[in-house]
Amino acid sequence: MTPFTRPSAVDQRGAAALAGSRRVLVTGFVGAPPEVVVAACDLAETIGAAIDAGDPDLARAAGPTIARVGEVTADREELRDRADLVVLWCCDPDAVEPGFPKRFIMPPLPGDTARRVFAVGREPAGGMAADVVHLPLDPVHAVDAARALECLHGGLEPQHLADPVAAVCRGLHSAITEARCVAFVTAHDGAAEGLEPWSIVRLVRALSHHRPAFEVPLGAERFASFRACCTWRYGAAGGIARADRTGAVFLPAEATAGRLLARGEVDAVVVVGTATAEVETAIAQAADRLAVVRIAAGLTATMRAEIEALGATFQAGDVPHGGRA
Amino acid sequence: MNPTAHRFVLVGGVLHDPANGLDGVIADIWVDDGAIVAPPADADGFARIDATGLVVMPGGVDLHSHVAGPKVNAGRRIAPHLARHRRPGPAAVPTIHATGALYAALGYTTVFDAAIATAAADVAHAELAELPILDKGIYLLAADERQVLEALSVDDQDRLDAVLRAALVRGRGWAVKVANPGGPDFWKRGRRGDHHDLDTALPGRPVTPRHILDRLARAVARLGLPHPLHVHTANLGLPGNWRTLLETMRTFDGVRAHLAHVQFHSYAGGDLDEGSFGSGVAPLVEHFNAHDTLTLDVGQILFGDTVAMTGDSAAAEHLAHATGTPWMSHDLHLEGGCGVLPIAYREKSLIHAWQWAIGLEWFLTAADPWRVALSTDHPNGAHFTAYPVLMQLLGDEAFRREALGRIHPAVRRRSPLAGITRAYTLQELCIVTRAAPARIAGLTRKGHLGIGADADITLYRPDRDLARMFSMPAKVYKAGVLVAEDGVVRATPEGVTFSV
């Protein structure tokens, strides 16, 4: 076996940067494998750092589930195997996750049940078969449409709807009534909070009391490992103000990467692999007051070794927290 | 931290070691290099630790718990109101580090996660690698794999054996688990809940749930696995499901099988009629007592808030709709899944009171404690830190009567529990928490204090209040290392992971 050689400059310069700091944020993690995340968590615990990947879906009170848990939620294979009605809700799944329609929507259902697919939005969804029904809707009306559908489902007649919204609702309501299992595919573009996600949550939840129904939000899988490792260590998927496996501090509204950077509450950042565009922007905006240590995306073993080497330079009592180093 | 195990001798403790026939016998235990050894000819170098007056038992073995994997992570997130900082006591679903520390402080030194899909085994092992102190293992939900169902469809035993063997190697499992045999196939066809009997063929396959149970149990026996097929049968939680469990037991006909969380499968009542809900334990216990190839864990519920999580998504969906509680379903590559939702068990709820009474009825009417493992199906029935309360309910009849007096009056009147006077002895409590689960799991070095056993030892201060006694061991040794003392964790050595 060829001995592994790591670039020693990372841990030496990085350690110096961290040692001179008062509070560190460990971030990045897009697509990082579990081994890398575990090593990064170890580093964060060693230096008492905050840890967050900067994705709003991770740092809410119930991590990625709160919008999803408000209702019945399922993963994509369940959509493939079970949903005889798929609603693409103001999103183009092939654009968010190329190949998603081919893998999870277009395969036939088991048995002889046919699947119907409706694409609600400004444009028809890409990557789909020709028989997808496009229901034109400007996304600014998405909340109105979701609420109107909820009304129709509850036997109420929605009032004051614009014609395009009413048309969408009539078409979808009819399809939902005939369906055995309904899947809404959404992509909230990082906006996990707000009226639009919650309007779908409420709608799906209402439907699910009468027939299997769930939402499949796209885009969260890039942080799957980070979400899992952080949750088993700290009980939350992000927004960890201080990494400590015996009692981490979880501050969902405070300790997100973006907010810590924007408020100047950290003076050093360790970027593990790739960070989101939002985090990179926040780092750039705070560049004059930040020490930045980057662990380049690469082989798992390489990344892990670099992180471990960085952590090994700190001993007990030598942590930068509070400027004691 | 992995401190060196010491050589020492525990002197003068009152030993409860059912596997070796010791019931309250005062004796010394010699420990060297993490194992229990014979008294040495030369005692030099062995530290003397005074255990006079203390009750000495093997470390606890939890045969059926949920401590790792995607479902547990979902459980940690789904109920933020049950997090550690929001209420007294531990989080409903503790972090992996807290799980190890809490188990150890309770005197438990071995735990099995009872439901890990093969596809999720790698990440579950990564998580379990961070479980401190305890030895651990996983049961693989291999029975849901498509290859298994295909082998069953053509009734090819050799192929079935090969598929299971490969899954166990790939997933580093200790046992094979089946959760709701065939249930996912019914459920994914859009049927609400999992209301099916054992003899209805799966959609599109010439295979019935009974066929799955029978063939898998035989395959596990042929493979010589230490633990028999671990069975979570169909219709979990549904009124009238005692018939399904009875048919499940009959299916095995002399082949070893372990019946998981039987409490959730022992309900009388009409077909899906919650109004006639009640206990179906009596005929089940009668069959169980007469068939010594069967073992079980109870899955006792205790009152309070917890999180339900199961590899049986259909059952979770049913529960979610029955309670109106938001839930999460998680599907793993079509070969496994789980459902997760918060649940609050209340004394005055008719259904919950029945569940509580039914679990205790199982414990108190099953004749042979060696075939019974104490469990709450953590966290489904209750948090594992509530085990001492359950032990007091079993070992203290007056305490149990007092508790019975608080539950829903209809259950007080109708449950056979009121007429049961049996109380577990310390020896029997030791059996159902240590000796029996170790033996059922096939762990030859656990659950006893004989020579060659792992030096997993728990010392308790005797107390009439059994809940107090069992909740705060004086000392807990894991492989000869003092890991907890009076509820304080003293060391966090790494445990081993069992795999076949």
Give the closest-approach CA distance of A255 to chain B in angstroms: 17
- Contact criterion met (CB below 8 Å) for B128 and B113: yes
Task: Show which of residues 190-209 on chain B sit within 8 Å of chain A, judged by CB atoms.
Answer: 190, 192, 203-204
More confident residue, B182 or A49: A49
Highest mean pLDDT among B148-162, B232-246, B421-435: B421-435
Considering only A137-146, B152-161, B472-481, which range has the smallest mean pLDDT?
A137-146
d(CA A176, CA B51): 69
Quick one: pLDDT at residue B336?
56
Q: Are A25 and A269 in contact (CB under 8 A)?
A: yes
* 3-class secondary structure, B167: helix
Residue extents of the structural domains in chain B? 8-58+446-498, 60-441
Q: B-contacting residues of A 215-274, CB under 8 Å?
A: 225, 227-229, 231-237, 245-248, 250
On whether any CB of chain B is under 8 Å from the CB of A178, the answer is no
Quick check: A180 and B190 CB within 8 A? yes
Query: What is the distance between the alpha carbons of residues B181 and B162, in angstroms, rounded to a whole number?
Result: 20
In CATH, what is the architecture of B60-441?
Alpha-Beta Barrel (3.20)
Q: Is the pLDDT of residue B154 over 80?
A: yes
**Domain spanning A65-221: CATH 3.40.228.10:** yes
Model-level pTM? Answer: 0.87
Chain B hits for A234, CB-CB cut-off 8 Å, are 95
- The complex's ipTM works out to 0.88
pLDDT tens readout for residues B248-269: 999 998 999 999 999 999 999 8
pLDDT, one tens digit for every residue, chain A (325 residues):
334 444 555 667 778 888 889 999 999 999 999 999 999 999 999 999 999 999 877 766 553 444 344 444 566 777 888 889 999 998 889 888 888 898 889 988 877 788 999 999 988 777 676 688 999 998 888 899 999 999 999 888 888 888 888 888 988 999 999 998 899 998 866 555 567 777 887 888 788 778 878 888 787 678 889 989 999 999 888 999 999 998 888 887 789 999 999 999 999 999 999 999 999 999 999 999 999 999 999 999 999 999 998 988 886 445 544 333 2
| CB within 8 Å of chain B, chain A residues 35-64 | 35, 38, 61-64
Smallest CA-to-CA distance from B322 within B408, B242, B239, B245 is with B239
Same fold, B8-58+446-498 and B60-441: no
Across the interface, whether the CB atoms of B77 and A64 are under 8 A apart is answered: yes
Domain topology for A8-59+238-323: Rossmann fold (3.40.50)
Tell me the domain boundaries of chain A.
8-59+238-323, 65-221
Cross-chain residue pair A62–B78, CB shorter than 8 Å: yes
Nearest to A65 among B78, B317, B334 (CB): B78
CB contact under 8 A, A75 and B330: yes
Look at residue A8 in the predicted model and tell me its pLDDT.
55
Q: Residues of chain A with pLDDT > 70: what percent?
A: 85
Length of chain A: 325
Q: What distance in Å separates residue B193's CA from the closest CA in chain A?
A: 10
**Whole-Å CA distances, A174 to A85, A177, A178, B365, B384:** 11, 5, 7, 55, 48
Which residues, including other chains, have CB under 8 Å from residue B95's CB and lie 6 or more apart? Answer: A232, A233, A234, A235, A245, A248, B76
The CATH number that domain B8-58+446-498 falls under is 2.30.40.10
For B175, counting Cβ atoms within 10 Å of its Cβ (0-12 exposed, 13-18 middle, 19+ buried), the class is buried
Residue B397 vs residues A318, B294, B329, B360, B402: alpha-carbon distances, Å: 56, 27, 40, 11, 9
